[in-house]
Each structure stands twice: as C-alpha cells, then as structure tokens.
Chain A
Amino acid sequence: MPWDSPLVSKLKSRHGSGVREASTYLGQNYLVLDPSVTREVLQILRDEEQFDYCVDITAVHYPKREKQFDLVWILYSFPKNERMRVKTMIADGESFASAVSIWPTANWLEREVFDMFGIKFDGHPDLKRILLPDGWEGYPLRKDYGITQQDQKWVQINLGIQSGQ
C-alpha cells in the first residue's frame, strides 16, 4: 500500500526520483531511497521530522541481485510516537556514509553491520569488528557463508585446535 503523508510529499518534492517507494505494510511505514540521497534524508528525518531515536541499523543480503545489500534503518520519534524504516540498496564493495554524527548510537550498530556483512561506513570513528575477533576472515551473515563455516586458520592459530573446527 502506498504511504501518503506530509513527510513523504515533502521528501518527494525535495528529492524527486530519489524517493523510490513510500509504502505501508502491515501498518508499518517505510521508505526506499536512492543511495545518493539517503544520508541527506536521514539527517532531515532527525533534524526536521523529530526522528530522534535510531532504533536499529541492519542489512539484508540478496546475493542474486545486482545491488546485493539492503541497508535498513529503523527510526522512532519520541515526540510523534511514530516508527518508520528507511531502506536503500547498495552493491557489494560499496561503502556508505556513516550516521554516527546523526545518532551516536549508530556507532556499534554500524560496526555490527560491518562485522556481519562487510559493508563499510565512511566517516565512522572506529570501524572494526565487534562480535567476531579481529582478524577473522569472512562475513557470516552473507548468504554465501555456510552455517558450519569457520575461519579455520584463525581457530588453529589462536585457539590451538588443529582441525580448525
């Protein structure tokens, strides 16, 4: 279902084709944006539309698509009591502008996306792995990473387990 609101029409008038889709599914609103305008729109959403709380940042991997990753921001506005999602698509190897200067909470959330998907965020103050050890090879939440797969070399060197499993 299309999502009509003053917010959407404002963004559409400002960014035109940058707003690819504005929909409501199961009562939840989301925007699909072009990567070129996404960072700017996120800033607008916080500064002008009172989306002051960044609930979550995550990604979804679609290996068969040309632009393999969906980057998802889940936002909440305390004054409006409203939730929304912002989505954009980026290709493998492409980096994205960090949102840490908009919401400080993005720091660890972006680190987790980097850790699990290998998406780099430009301008992040300290982009490194967060859950997996430094020096781990591979990005586990990519679809081509098997569920039993491990970085055998890392395990052999650091844990002294010869089989690497």
Chain B
Amino acid sequence: MTDPTTYISHLELGQPDKTYLDTSELILNMGPQHPATHGVLRVILKLDGEKVLGTECVIGYLHRGVEKIAENRTYAMFNPYVDRMDYVAAISNGLGYCEAVEKLLNVEAPPRARYIRVILTELNRLASHMVWLGTHALDIGAMTPLFYTFRDREEILKIFEKYCGARLTTHAFRIGGCQYETYEGFEKDVKNFLAFVPPKIDEYEELLTTNRIWVERTRNVGKISGPDCIALGVTGPVLRASGVKWDIRKAKPYSGYQEFDFEIPTGENGDTYDRYIVRMKEMRQSLRIIQQAIDRLPSGPIMAKVGKVIKPPVGEIYHSIEAPKGELGYYIVSDGSTQPYRVRVRPPSFVNLQALDLMVRGQLVADVIAVIGTFDIVLGEVDR
C-alpha cells in the first residue's frame, strides 16, 4: 500500500509553535474507518500538538465509476443509478437527472408532475437535513438529537414508501414526469406531516440553539468568508451561511419553483454555528413550500409525451438544481443514440470538501470533526 506520509509531501506547512514547549510535528491519519467521517473519508492531518497545520483528503474509497456506467446504459436505465450517489437525498438526484434529460429532449413535465416532484424533493431536503443534524450533533457529543431526528425522518420515509415502495433509493421520478400517481391519502399524510413536524424542529432548536456546549463547539469554528466560498466553488448552505444570498431555486428556477413563495436564509459569520442556523431555517422554508404545493396541487396528467425509446437529438446540456448539499449539476452529451455519450455529475459534496483544508488550518483536532460534519458530505457522492 502507499505510504501515508507520501501524500502530504506537497503541503506548505507552518512552523510549529515554539513559544511554550519544544514540540514536533505529528502526522495523524483520520479515517477511512472512523465514525465521525461520515463514511470512508480519510483525512491526513499534520499536527502541532492539538493544532492543525495542514490537511490532505484522500478520497475515492467508494468510487463505482457512475459516469462510466452511464455511457453503457440507456437514459432510462441510468436513472436508478443516480439515487446511489447522494443516497441521503436520492430524490434530489433523480430530479436533477430527469430534468436534464427532459431539457435535452425539449419536453417539460406536466404541472401536476412538477408539483409532486417539488413536494417529494422538499420532503427529501428535510430528511437530508435531519440526518445531517442528528449525525453532526452526535459527532460533537450531543446524542439526543440523533434519536429525535431519526424518529421524525421516519415519517418522511413512510410517505416515500407508500408513494413508490422504496424508502432510501427511491427512483421516484421518470424522464418526462412521475411514473406513479399519488396514492390515496397522500395529501392527508403530507398535511399531517406538516402539522407534526414544526414543533419537532422547535424541539431540536431547544436542545441545541442556546445550548452552551453546542455554541462553544460551533461558534467561530471552521470560518469561511463569502468570497473564499465563491473562489472554491462552495455552494449550498455553506455558501449561504457566509452571507451570500444565492439559491438555484431562486437564481435559475427549475421545476416550477418560481411559483412558490419562500425565503433564502443566510448567515453572517460563516462559522459552523451559522451553518446550523441556516439549515434549521431552511427546514422551515421547505415546509412552507410543501404547504403551498399541497394546497395548490393541480390535477391532470403526470407524464409528458416521451417515447418508449428515449433518443435525444445530438447536443449537450448542463442542468443543475439546488440539492440539500449545494449545486448538483448534470452535464449530458448526446450523440443521438439511446445511450448518453457522456454524463458528468457535478457533485456538491466533492467540490465543497475541497474547502476543508482552508477551514481547519490553525484550529484544533476536535474542530476537524465539527467541520466535516458541518459540510454535510455524503461520500457516495464525493466518490461516485
């Protein structure tokens, strides 16, 4: 195997602090099997005592060659694979892919399909943020939120299961719309959920927002400025917590998001605490969107006219959506055959993770855990 020390050869390392004690630099290998790295992320840390001097991420342990698989499948056959990238928010992945192919085909999903998509995608955003909150809090040492969030996420997964039979990798959408009509009682279930979850979110906030330990562990930890975020391509809640008011749902609306009234929460400091606050506010905004969509759910067909064989004309398209983690883009090149010539996935987790080094330099080892958690990365998406 490769010697871990060879990886860090390029790092420009600061000098150890010689003020108090004569210390020497230490290389610590965190992961890939580590409960707080959310999968198989390996981070090589260069330390001076507890202080981080530099990091190097080693990724690819979960690489399955999704983009290569796409070139050998038809457009419809590749659809279930995208669910397996960000498996915590599988529905968002499917939405991005289906919309990209629809654009390439120049068709649009009918209004009812778009509304169903919005409802399920926003429910999925909530589920994704709940997983993030539970695991992030667990990493920092608060165990209770994990049980609370997973308990409430169960209600969302029940709706998914009733809708399409699957809970996690749902494959809920088809190119051109949705395959399934909503089940009987769907509206009632969603409305019950909308009444059920706001007090639960209050509950999470009660546990954490003013909790002294939580605040101490997250305030001023992993700070990043707005311009740095843009330069590093960081998107999603991390970007918004640094004060940049940018959300693709507003900037480049897709799937009818322009028809809904919602706000983009932003933070000021760009630290871990602000990112927590931004995500908590986003959960409430998602509820607002679901409420509007379920109230106005139109009737009509759920599939656009798409042939049995999907054969887009020669051309290429880049389409991106606001996934729970940030900008999720699909760049698809069609050569006019039934199989895509090239599918490139622009994963938010992969690009966001690049900012880890900047955010943890000069901080403590324990903060690395907090920062990895605050990114909300899913390694299935980083490695693809």
Which A positions have Cβ atoms within 8 angstroms of B?
A: 25-26, 28, 52-56, 58, 60-61, 72, 74, 78, 81, 83, 85, 103-105, 107-109, 116, 125-126, 129-135, 140-141, 143, 145, 147, 158
User: Do the beta carbons of B331 and A74 come within 8 Å of each other?
Assistant: yes
Bound Cα distance A53, B228 (Å): 11
Write the B99-119 contact mask toward A (1 if CB under 8 angstroms, else 0).
000011010000000000000
User: Do the beta carbons of B318 and A125 come within 8 Å of each other?
Assistant: no
User: Do the beta carbons of A56 and B2 come within 8 Å of each other?
Assistant: no
Is B195 positioned at the interface, with any CB of A under 8 Å from its CB?
no
For this complex, 22 residue pairs linking A to B, each with C-beta atoms less than 8 Å apart, are A25-B315, A25-B316, A56-B318, A56-B329, A56-B331, A58-B344, A60-B342, A72-B331, A78-B230, A78-B246, A81-B252, A105-B351, A108-B351, A109-B351, A116-B67, A126-B10, A130-B60, A131-B60, A131-B63, A141-B68, A147-B69, A147-B71
Interface pairs A-B: 3 shortest CB-CB: A105-B233, A131-B60, A56-B346
Which residues on A sit within 8 Å (CB–CB) of B341?
Answer: 60
Is B72 positioned at the interface, with any CB of A under 8 Å from its CB?
yes
Bound Cα distance A107, B356 (Å): 13
Contacts A58-B331, A81-B252 given; does A132 touch B63 at CB 8 Å: yes
CB distance from B254 to the nearest CB of A (A): 12
CB distance from A1 to the nearest CB of B (A): 11
Contacts A58-B331, A158-B1 given; does A140 touch B354 at CB 8 Å: no
User: Do the beta carbons of A125 and B10 come within 8 Å of each other?
Assistant: yes
Give the residues from 1 to 24 in chain B that come closer than 8 angstroms, CB to CB, to chain A. Answer: 1-2, 10
User: Do the beta carbons of B60 and A132 come within 8 Å of each other?
Assistant: yes
User: Do the beta carbons of B104 and A104 come within 8 Å of each other?
Assistant: no
Find A134's partner among B2, B252, B329 (CB 8 Å cutoff). Answer: B2
Is B121 positioned at the interface, with any CB of A under 8 Å from its CB?
no
Which residues on B sit within 8 Å (CB–CB) of A72?
Answer: 331, 344
Of listed B231, B246, B317, residue having the most chain A CB within 10 A: B231
Contacts A58-B331, A81-B251, A131-B383 given; does A140 touch B65 at CB 8 Å: yes
User: Do the beta carbons of B318 and A28 come within 8 Å of each other?
Assistant: yes
User: Do the beta carbons of B103 and A26 come within 8 Å of each other?
Assistant: yes
Given contacts A83-B252, A108-B354, A131-B60, 13 further A-B contacts (CB under 8 A): A25-B315, A26-B317, A28-B318, A52-B231, A55-B327, A56-B331, A78-B244, A83-B318, A103-B233, A131-B383, A132-B60, A147-B68, A147-B71
CB distance from A2 to the nearest CB of B (A): 15
Find B60's partner among A103, A133, A158 (CB 8 Å cutoff). Answer: A133
Which residues on B sit within 8 Å (CB–CB) of A140?
Answer: 65, 68
Query: Which single residue of chain B is at the shortest CB-CB distance from A105?
Result: B233
User: Do the beta carbons of A26 and B315 come within 8 Å of each other?
Assistant: yes
User: Do the beta carbons of B329 and A55 come within 8 Å of each other?
Assistant: yes
Bound Cα distance A60, B316 (Å): 11
Bound Cα distance A130, B350 (Å): 11
Which residues on A sit within 8 Å (CB–CB) of B346?
Answer: 55-56, 74
Bound Cα distance A72, B354 (Å): 20
User: Do the beta carbons of B318 and A108 come within 8 Å of each other?
Assistant: no
Which residues on B sit within 8 Å (CB–CB) of A145?
Answer: 68
Is B140 positioned at the interface, with any CB of A under 8 Å from its CB?
no
Which residues on A sit within 8 Å (CB–CB) of B315?
Answer: 25-26
Find B106's partner among A26, A74, A109, A129 (CB 8 Å cutoff). Answer: A26
Give the residues from 221 to 254 in chain B that come closer than 8 angstroms, CB to CB, to chain A. Answer: 230-233, 244, 246, 251-252
